[in-house]
Structure 1
């Protein structure tokens, strides 16, 4: 009996789902109505009394909006002298007059010019001159500013400023004017946010908006019984395509005055919204709000988003009980990629979706060549809808639209499942020491932290590395804005990122300047930071003149001597013993200097009477996981050294024990002093050696390798020179100078040193195979108890001597 009832309940639920206005298989078809004005007329004829627009607690039907926009269109033509193609600007907050003026301007054959309601004099003067607007509709709050701007500019003297409090339309007919726009008639000059300089206006036709509404209707499955909701400023394109969507499906559009993370879902519940679109930081800001008992008390069927944070994607769906799907597009191109609603496998994947039927996409290199799956490149798009170009910007148009393809400026990769994954913006990258870092990736890692509300990553100029990674961080309430917090947040983010991507600088901010699309405005952020600098925490510690950050507590010193980076272990009271953190920092410093962009080579040496005593036995592993971490940190140094493009020379100033002697073996040469002494006591203590001994030592000293490892003799400088462990012995005061001389000798002008190093050094696959063998040996040593017994024996013997 229960088995029979289950499908009946499912069938009943399915029958209550709104019927889609456009079926998914129709997405690639041409819309049956060619213009937005005709779409309004069709909707008014079919359902005149259905709700169309809802602002605050007032709403208007399709018939009411149709009549109002017709009256206002007549006013524009007959009183203001607007002719087809003239520009009508709209500078209003989110009030009903915004879409009314927009649709009225289109009925008059004019071109709408959305204006950010927060613009001031310079922005306004530019936009009004650039667009050539004849009329601007605004409210009382902004009318005075517009009149001031127009009065101060000779070429704006004829601009008419209309206050919508009394738009003068009441006396005009409620039937539409005789003007008949076509699909190709220009509808908008839609100004982009503009990341540098003044914004550019995308020329968008009626067909652009109608196709955008049609495509989104087919993708979402929305129908007349749905309720759409938007909270972005109407001057931005999202509420406008939401309006086109509402006209396409015959559903009401709820417009909030502004986006408020704390009150957003209360509005969703209050209005019975079944659909909304968010983007930028909005999903993260919503998720950071405290959970509410009413979170699941909503009518949502679907959320569309551009840039769903992958780490919280599943939690967003679980918390509010509706699928969240990606939609990708630009002002220039409308919609390009769509995440199918039924594809649950995309959740948390970062997949932007697949191309809509009317679009083709490619991933290309800087020369325009197609790239294979998994290779990052620029996303380019062709098809419809698409802007005609940039208004008054033929050079910019030619740069972005090439041979029918729009160059988006976004770096993406093709996924094995056929989808597209975003890497970052070409212009929103940090180039640090030869490595390209996508700001978006670092921001996502930071924003996963519960102590972080939002983050923005920018490039900080650096004399040596070119650029460093700086993070502006907005903290959750109650979290102290101090160095300890900065270090804690960066440490947690660093566990998700490659080391070169981890921010060096952190500056805490109370909020972020944002674009109308709720993205952080990085130009404004950097300008604010320059004008009113806050406290910036440098988590790279002190820099040497080589531009490579020192290790914690200055255990690693950096100097540049005649163009060569000299890395000095500085813990002489502990014989320069190395813990995991210091080894990782050493590997990082080698990588930073090893690109060859700023120095000709690297010299490794120690301070005091020891090069290094190797593993710090006061911080030895207490679990196998810690042992693996310790081994990996030694492996990391080896990888760093053998992958440099410059010579690496060890200046062995004294005792080199265990892992430290193995570090010198990874170098291309070893210069010693009479005090140099090699000692590898691991076998006698039950501590497994690392790859430098198992792979590199036999290459260097041949038949002496077995004796050195198993017999653990102390090998002085002269014997080390005789068997080839050292290349030369010099006086202590000459040691670093001689090592630097050797680097300079090997790196003449127009050299091919990097190529020869790659040929002479062991291949990385050989080293990785050695790593695997040694990791297995380390595991067996740990499991047998020999490792722990060896460490305990060391301390017992040491205590006895003391």
Structure 2
């Protein structure tokens, strides 16, 4: 890693990063996104002024502010303003519906919600009185918004007078990022300021980012991937473009238009791009490298042959950092990569005993730098102790460490589903289906799709004498779940396979796969 990127330990905070950025790269072009064109010096100023508006609204150090917006300046300003004054932002997945929004607000204790007008009607199915919410700022309001019960609702306010940065410490919480639970509700990951700084420095180092690079992402700012792209550009002094959404047909024209040299793709996005007709646009760009975690080896090879872009594999999670990665000169592909400097990794059995190379077990991780990992789960000390037991973070992922030190992914131990780059809690989908009057029991689990990712499948047992077609059950989910979490396959069964003590044997359902004649929402 470049020594000039290393901040003194006490300055590994958002204010420390933005002040360094302004000092070293002030006049250089920095950021382009809907609603903003910034030079590097503008980032600190925007944070200070949005921090002033937050302070004027009563937000104090340690408070939580939820934000539910697409990739536009107001979203980023909120995150930066919170970090500047020592509050914690709580990015909300823009696909969330009323029940999920209510849960996140209540669980985080957010006092303020910043929400795009396009999502405002989703609050109608959320009981805001059951949360600690006091006020809502509506972004892009076309008319004066009305209060919701006792919650004051106003249009997005103008930037306030700039305020001095709070005396935040590297261990203080920068953001609470919710990652889907596997046996229960989503957990809020406490991401400290130092972790955010290290995310940017480590990712920029893996990708070889320099001052002349142009980063471009279509990924949403409620994910660590896109938030981390901002940090990469701030650390390296380069330029970054945030696009509103991913478009298969518009992807390469957008890369050419922005002059991008570094791109960010999730596993399923690559097969989608490869499914497009081959054309000159795939080569008419400046992109030299991309980050593509979860891309199958064959797809990565085909992508490079068609587009000239090398995709690097890597491993990290909201709780950890960019700890394992390939490099342009890696001896082989098809693996997660090799352990990066500053981190430790083991593959362990159920009792946390380290396993030899070649034997599959759970990946556990540890960081050498203080607060380079998350500090736990908000309001869930028992879950924190469980995940960080024996002073190692337990990823829940089953991997093999091979003889040359490469780590190869096998499967997920946790009962989670990964689709379209989103972590889906099977438990949350099951709770929605169980709320249907005709459903007696249900098991939700992943099956593989043609896009080399998970599809959501539900095995449903109906109550005696009740009837419900799979299409009806899917429609029931539509108003209660994000679109990406709605089951694609629904199989109505007479009973679920169970152990002697009544636990559902999901492995038997997964092994069964998608039986002939199973209802398929995409076909329907």
- Smaller-chain TM-score range? 0.7 to 0.9
CA distance in 2, matches of 1:58, 1:42: 21
**From 94, 113, 133, the counterpart of 2:90:** 113
Conserved in 1, the CA contact under 8 Å of 2:218 and 2:242?
Answer: yes
Hey, what does 1:414 align to over in structure 2? 401
Deviation at residue 48 of structure 1 after TM alignment: 2.3
Q: Which residue of 2 aligns with 1:163?
A: 138
Partners of 1:91 and 1:114 within 8 A in 2: yes
* Cα distance, 1:131 vs structure 2: 0.4
How far is 1:29 from its partner?
Answer: 9.0
Distance 1:302 1:292 in 2: 19
**1:627-669: CA deviations, max 9, x gaps?**
xxxxxxxxxxxxxxxxxxxxxxxxxxxxxxxxxxxxxxxxxxx
Is residue 38 of structure 1 aligned with residue 22 of structure 2? Answer: no
For residues 50 and 44 of structure 1, the distance between their equivalents in structure 2, rounded to whole angstroms, comes to 9
Match of 1:708 in 2: none
Q: What SS does the corresponding residue of 2:199 show, helix, strand or coil?
A: helix
| Secondary structure, counterpart of 2:489 in structure 1 | helix
Question: Is the aligned partner of 1:51 residue 2:29?
Answer: yes
Q: Tell me, what secondary structure is at the counterpart of 1:368?
A: coil
C-alpha distance after superposition, 1:180-226 (max 9, x if no partner)? 21211111111013445421000010000001111122222211211
**Equivalent residues in 2 for 1:581-600, closer than 5 Å:** none
Q: 1:153 aligns with which of 100, 120, 129?
A: 129
Contact kept in structure 2, 1:27 and 1:218, CA below 8 Å: no
User: SS state of the match for residue 329, structure 2?
Assistant: coil
Task: Check the 8 A contact 2:207/2:290 in 1, yes or no.
Answer: no
Give 1:90-101 correspondences, 5 Å limit.
90-101=67-78
Q: State the Cα distance separating 1:145 from its structure 2 match.
A: 4.1
Aligned to 2:332: 346
Once the two structures are superposed, the pairs formed by residues 778-789 of structure 1 within 5 Å of their partners are none
Instruction: Select between 138-147 and 249-258 the one with higher mean Cα deviation.
Output: 138-147
In structure 2, the CA distance between the partners of 1:62 and 1:143, relative to structure 1 (3 Å rule), is: farther
Alignment of 1:320-331 (within 5 A): 320-331=307-318
> Structure 1 or 2: larger helix share?
1
Cα–Cα, structure 1 residues 119 and 71, in superposed 2: closer, same or farther, change >3 Å? Answer: same
Distance 1:386 1:358 in 2: 11
Structure with the bigger RCO (C-alpha within 8 Å, sep 6+) is 2
- Structure-1 residue corresponding to 2:116: 139
Aligned partner (choices 212, 218, 243) of residue 225 of structure 1: 212
Post-superposition shift, 1:460? 8.1
Give structure 2 stretches of 5+ with no counterpart: 141-154, 418-444, 461-473, 498-507, 509-524
Going from structure 1 to structure 2, the CA distance change for 1:105 and 1:336 (only over 3 Å counts) comes to same
What is the match of residue 359 of structure 1?
A: 343
Distance 2:165 2:221 in 1: 27
**1:303–1:323 contact (8 Å) kept in structure 2:** yes
Aligned residue in 1 for 2:224: 237
Aligned partner of 2:105 in structure 1 is 128
Number of the residue aligned with 1:254: 241
Q: Which residue is 2:436 aligned to? A: none
Give the Cα–Cα distance (whole angstroms) in 1 for the partners of residues 19 and 453 of structure 2: 45
Offset at residue 163 of structure 1 (A): 2.1
The structure having more radius of gyration, on CA atoms, is 1
Aligned mate of 2:170, from 162, 183, 206:
183
- 8 Å CA contact 2:67–2:75 kept in 1: the answer is yes
Q: Of 155, 158, 161, which aligns to 1:173?
A: 161
Q: Deviations over 1:525-563 (max 9, x none)?
A: 44x533xx69x9xxxxxxxxxx9xxxxxxxxxxxxxxxx
Q: CA deviation at 1:278?
A: 1.5
Q: Secondary structure of the residue that 2:295 maps to in structure 1?
A: coil
Q: 1:60 offset after TM fit, Å?
A: 2.0
Cα distance between partner residues in 1 of 2:49 and 2:5:
34
1:581-616: CA deviation from partner (whole Å, max 9, x where unpaired)? xxxxxxxxxxx9xxxxxxxxxxxxxxxxxxxxxxxx
| Residue 258 to residue 223, structure 1, CA distance change in 2 (3 Å) | same
Change over 3 Å in CA distance of 1:352–1:105 after alignment to 2: same
1:317 aligns with 2:295: no
Distance 1:368 1:339 in 2: 26
Conserved? CA contact 1:53–1:96, under 8 Å = no
SS at match of 1:273: coil
Q: What SS does the corresponding residue of 2:90 show, helix, strand or coil?
A: strand
Say whether the 8 Å CA contact 1:28–1:356 is kept in structure 2. Answer: no
Whether the 8 Å CA contact 2:5–2:236 is kept in 1: the answer is no
Local SS of the residue matching 1:382: strand
Q: Distance in 2 between matches of 1:154 and 1:199?
A: 17
Asked whether the 8 Å contact 1:285–1:454 carries over to 2, the reply is no
Distance 2:358 2:6 in 1: 28
Aligned 8 A contact 2:209 2:236 in 1: yes
Give the CA deviation at 1:338. Answer: 1.5
Which ranges in structure 1 are unaligned for 5 or more consecutive residues?
Answer: 1-21, 431-438, 448-452, 463-508, 537-546, 548-591, 593-802
CA RMSD of aligned residues (A): 3.3
Per the normalisation by structure 1, the TM-score is 0.50
Indicate the residue corresponding to 2:277 in structure 1. Answer: 290
Q: Would the aligned equivalents of 2:265 and 2:291 in 1 still touch at CA under 8 Å?
A: yes
CA distance in 2, matches of 1:93, 1:270: 21
